[in-house]
């Protein structure tokens, strides 16, 4: 796909150093080591074109001024070092062989603990086939592995590893840690690492596992006491830091690549860490960072050449850096470099499209724009302003380039499906625009019929699989077309998270047909009660996601990409609108693209 990754081909040339695999539209948190380092001003705002707009049109526009982009000179001046990447790749291969040998030599329980460590350090993808084959066999003998084990850390790790790889180990394994009265044993609170792992395990729960709900409450309480200094005056600083990170976003909610950066920092400070494993993790993370920097160069260069800044009004969120960050959340592995670039570019377009409807177009323009989008012709509607035609033509050109790249591989169906999902997404956006411009507030059920589409999960998933190669074949797109329950639960989570964090901005734009308002109207509740109910709905949807992840018959990597879209929702929206207000994500973004890990 040279046309798509123009000027970034070196990333693909080095894929042989990585394992060979058969391999929402969502709208936060800073890493602890950089969350206080935000400069007060750090953006360069480009001058954009201002097309002629009549006074009457201007008064009917829902104009909204978005915060500027993170894209500044630091990102524009990134440079690549080919020789360093090649050296890292060679060293990774040497250590990879040693870790693989270690996996072979350990007993079953030891292998599971090592797998947990590989996952946390961000290097498990190197051994996916080896891990999957072992866990498939081990799950048939899981009772022999867990029998007699009374260590809460060990049982929690075993539980987490099996569930992460698609095996539904029963939560009954935690019953051994309860007293006769049903409470968890008090002695557990003395094992902070065990309590932390138990807390992480509780996030794998489904809606029928009360013991994991109880575990989450129990562990959360004692972890907060620990970091607050309420249980032990001699708390270890690096453990407290990890706990704070996990209380903010658990591993099950967080991006795999961010978890890796945090855990490497923690593991390095553990007194009995494995030096070889730590070095392997650091080399691998830096190798990934160099990939991401090259990809960012490619996407930024494409954006500058597109030059929409001079062609369309300043009504949209320019989020080039943030869009590539999104793509790294969906898949962090170096071999998905092309997929990340495609997804990042597409999210740039989808963001602008979203803002066309939400923050700029008059209703007649929105109707005409949707008609042109449906016909997939930039000049289909004469009354459409020239700048909207320019933008639509750029979008169509992008997908035509994609079609040219996948045609020879016999995979045109994936691009066409993505186009169909984009049309579906913006039909729904038009419905929201009509409600907003006419002052209509639907009931909640009517709103959800539209809102589940405008969350954009289906569209994101359709584009995310395009660049993954043969592993995302026609059967994957047939699965997407069937609206599987895993994707439906992601739709729910995206909708509820988004409705909560964007409520005030949407009201400021005069959009009264919001999820919160529609819910208050239908159920007669206060705003505060609506927010509490939405929080409960998010938790319910998260448990449904866990359940459907275990049930899906799709390859593990496909299911994992879908699940990672759910993690993207949490990373961006659990603590606010981290896509519109990027300072919430700045620490994470810096940790991938700017702050190279020290080896």
pLDDT over threshold 50, residue 289? yes
pLDDT over threshold 90, residue 34? no
For the chain, the maximum distance between any two Cα atoms, rounded to a whole number of angstroms, is: 77
Give the model confidence (pLDDT) of 335-351 as tens digits. 999 999 999 999 999 99
CB 581 within 8 A of CB 27: no
Average pLDDT over residues 277-305: 95
Average pLDDT over residues 103-114: 97
What gap in Å lies between CA 220 and CA 222, rounded to an integer?
A: 6
What gap in Å lies between CA 430 and CA 437, rounded to an integer?
A: 10
Minimum mean pLDDT among 248-257, 352-361, 463-472: which range?
352-361
- pLDDT tier at 234 (50, 70, 90 boundaries)? low
- Break the chain into its structural domains and give their ranges: 82-281
The region, left, alpha or beta by phi > 0 then psi within -120 to 50, assigned to residue 151 is: beta
CB 71 within 8 A of CB 323: no
Average pLDDT over residues 165-180: 97
pLDDT over threshold 60, residue 214? yes
Per residue, what are the HEC states of 186-245?
Answer: HHHHHCHHHHHHHHHHHCCCCCCCHHHHHHHHHHHHHHHHHHCCCCCCCCCHHHHHHHHH
Task: Give residue 568's pLDDT.
Answer: 97
- pLDDT tier at 228 (50, 70, 90 boundaries)? confident
Task: Give residue 57's pLDDT.
Answer: 42
| Residue 556 burial (10 A CB sphere; 0-12, 13-18, 19+) | middle
Q: What are 178's strand-pairing partners?
A: 184
pLDDT over threshold 60, residue 4? no
CB 486 within 8 A of CB 548: yes
Select the more confidently predicted residue: 1 or 144.
144
Task: Give residue 30's pLDDT.
Answer: 32
Task: Give residue 63's pLDDT.
Answer: 56
Task: Give residue 62's pLDDT.
Answer: 57
Q: How wide is the angle at C-alpha 405 spanned by C-alphas 399 and 406, nearest 5°?
A: 90
Which superfamily does 82-281 belong to?
Answer: Terpene synthase, N-terminal domain (1.50.10.130)
Give the model confidence (pLDDT) of 416-466 as tens digits. 999 999 999 999 999 999 998 898 999 999 999 999 999 999 999 999 999
CA-closest candidate to residue 430, choices 502, 483, 367, 350: 367
pLDDT over threshold 90, residue 20? no
Q: Mean pLDDT, the chain, as a whole number? A: 88
Give the model confidence (pLDDT) of 378-405 as tens digits. 888 888 889 899 999 999 999 999 999 9
pTM (predicted TM-score): 0.88
pLDDT over threshold 80, residue 468? yes
CA 564 from chain centre, in angstroms, equals: 5
What gap in Å lies between CA 517 and CA 525, rounded to an integer?
A: 10
Task: Give residue 331's pLDDT.
Answer: 97
CB 495 within 8 A of CB 455: yes
Task: Give residue 5's pLDDT.
Answer: 40
Contacts of 365-371 with CB under 8 Å at 24 or more apart are: 366/430, 366/433, 366/434, 366/437, 367/430, 370/426, 370/427, 370/429, 370/430
- pLDDT tier at 230 (50, 70, 90 boundaries)? low
pLDDT over threshold 70, residue 266? yes
- pLDDT tier at 32 (50, 70, 90 boundaries)? very low
Average pLDDT over residues 559-581: 95
- As separate numbers, helices (DSSP H) first and strands (DSSP E) second, the chain gives 27, 0
- Distance linking the first and last C-alpha atoms of the chain: 33
Give the model confidence (pLDDT) of 50-103 as tens digits. 333 344 444 466 556 677 777 776 777 777 778 899 999 999 999 999 999 999
């Amino acid at each position: 796909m040279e046309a798509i990754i123009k000027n970034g081909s070196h990333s693909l040339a080095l894929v042989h150093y990585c394992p060979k695999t058969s391999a929402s539209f969502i709208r936060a948190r800073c890493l602890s080591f950089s969350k206080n380092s935000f400069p007060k001003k750090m953006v360069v705002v480009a001058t954009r074109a201002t097309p002629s707009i009549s006074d009457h049109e201007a008064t009917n526009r829902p104009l909204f001024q978005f915060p500027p982009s993170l894209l500044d000179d630091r990102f524009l001046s990134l440079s690549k070092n080919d020789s360093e990447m090649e050296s890292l790749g060679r060293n990774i291969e040497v250590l990879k062989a040693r870790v693989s040998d270690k996996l072979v030599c350990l007993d079953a329980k030891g292998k599971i603990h090592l797998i947990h460590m590989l996952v946390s350090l961000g290097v498990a993808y190197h051994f996916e086939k080896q891990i999957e084959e072992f866990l498939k066999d081990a799950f048939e003998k899981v009772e022999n592995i867990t029998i007699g084990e009374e260590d809460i850390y060990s049982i929690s790790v075993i539980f987490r590893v099996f569930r992460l790889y698609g095996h539904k180990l029963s939560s009954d394994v935690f019953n051994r840690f309860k007293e006769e009265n049903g409470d968890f044993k008090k002695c557990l609170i003395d094992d902070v690492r065990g309590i932390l792992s138990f807390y992480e395990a509780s996030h794998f729960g489904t809606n029928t596992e009360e013991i994991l709900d109880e575990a989450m409450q129990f562990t959360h309480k004692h972890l907060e006491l620990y970091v607050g200094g309420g249980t032990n005056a001699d708390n270890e600083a690096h453990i407290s830091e990890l706990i704070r990170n996990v209380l903010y976003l658990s591993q099950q909610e967080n991006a795999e690549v961010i978890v890796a950066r945090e855990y490497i920092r923690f593991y390095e400070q553990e007194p009995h860490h494995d030096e070889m494993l730590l070095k392997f993790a650091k080399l691998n993370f830096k190798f990934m960072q160099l990939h991401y920097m090259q990809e960012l160069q490619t996407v930024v260069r494409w954006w500058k050449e597109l030059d929409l800044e001079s062609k369309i009004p300043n009504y949209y969120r320019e989020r080039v850096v943030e869009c590539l960050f999104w793509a790294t959340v969906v898949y962090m592995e170096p071999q998905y470099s092309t997929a990340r670039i495609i997804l990042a570019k597409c999210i740039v377009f989808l963001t602008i499209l979203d803002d066309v409807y939400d923050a700029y177009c008059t209703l007649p323009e929105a109707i005409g724009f949707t008609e042109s989008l449906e016909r997939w012709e930039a000049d289909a509607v004469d009354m459409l302003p020239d700048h909207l035609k320019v933008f639509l033509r750029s979008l169509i050109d992008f997908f035509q380039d994609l079609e040219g790249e996948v045609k020879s591989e016999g995979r045109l169906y994936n691009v066409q499906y993505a186009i169909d999902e984009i049309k579906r997404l913006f039909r729904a956006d038009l419905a929201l625009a009509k409600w907003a411009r006419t002052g209509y507030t639907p009931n909640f059920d009517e709103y959800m019929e539209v809102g589940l589409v405008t969350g954009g999960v289906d569209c994101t998933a359709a584009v995310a699989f395009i660049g993954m190669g043969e592993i995302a074949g026609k059967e994957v797109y047939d699965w997407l077309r069937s609206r599987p329950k895993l994707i439906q639960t992601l739709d729910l989570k995206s909708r509820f998270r988004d409705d909560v964090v964007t409520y005030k901005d949407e009201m400021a734009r005069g959009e009264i047909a919001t999820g919160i308002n529609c819910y208050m109207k239908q159920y007669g509740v206060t705003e505060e009660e609506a927010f509490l109910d939405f929080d409960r709905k998010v938790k319910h949807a998260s448990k449904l996601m866990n359940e459907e992840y275990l049930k899906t018959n799709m390859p593990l990597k496909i299911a994992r990409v879908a699940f990672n879209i759910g993690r993207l929702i949490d990373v961006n929206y659990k603590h606010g609108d981290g896509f519109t207000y990027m300072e919430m994500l700045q620490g994470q973004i810096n940790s991938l693209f700017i702050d190279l890990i020290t080896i």
